[in-house]
Amino acid sequence: MQLEFKRNLGVKDRIIRIAIGLILVILVMMHVVTGWMSSSALFIAGLMIFEAVIGY
């Protein structure tokens, strides 16, 4: 059994996800977001960048 997945993200969606992910990372690095929210922001940023890279 072979699963075939269709790409779900367009170029604009991928660019937006990468931009938001990078903004979240920058906010954490500049200590604008601190505490438990920094961990959450990094997790969300990682997910967004990962989704943008693989495009699914």
Single-letter residue type at 23: I
Please report the pLDDT score of residue 33 as a whole number.
94
Q: CA 50 to CA 16: how far, in whole Å?
A: 13
Tens-of-pLDDT digits for all 56 residues of the chain? 777 777 777 889 999 999 999 999 999 999 999 999 999 999 999 999 999 998 87
SS3 percent helix, strand, coil of the chain, rounded to 5, is 70, 0, 30
Per-residue tokens: 17: 């996800």
**Domain chopping of the chain, boundaries:** 11-54
Asked whether 39 and 11 are in contact (CB, 8 A), the reply is: no
Please report the pLDDT score of residue 49 as a whole number.
95
The reported pTM is 0.81
Please report the pLDDT score of residue 32 as a whole number.
96
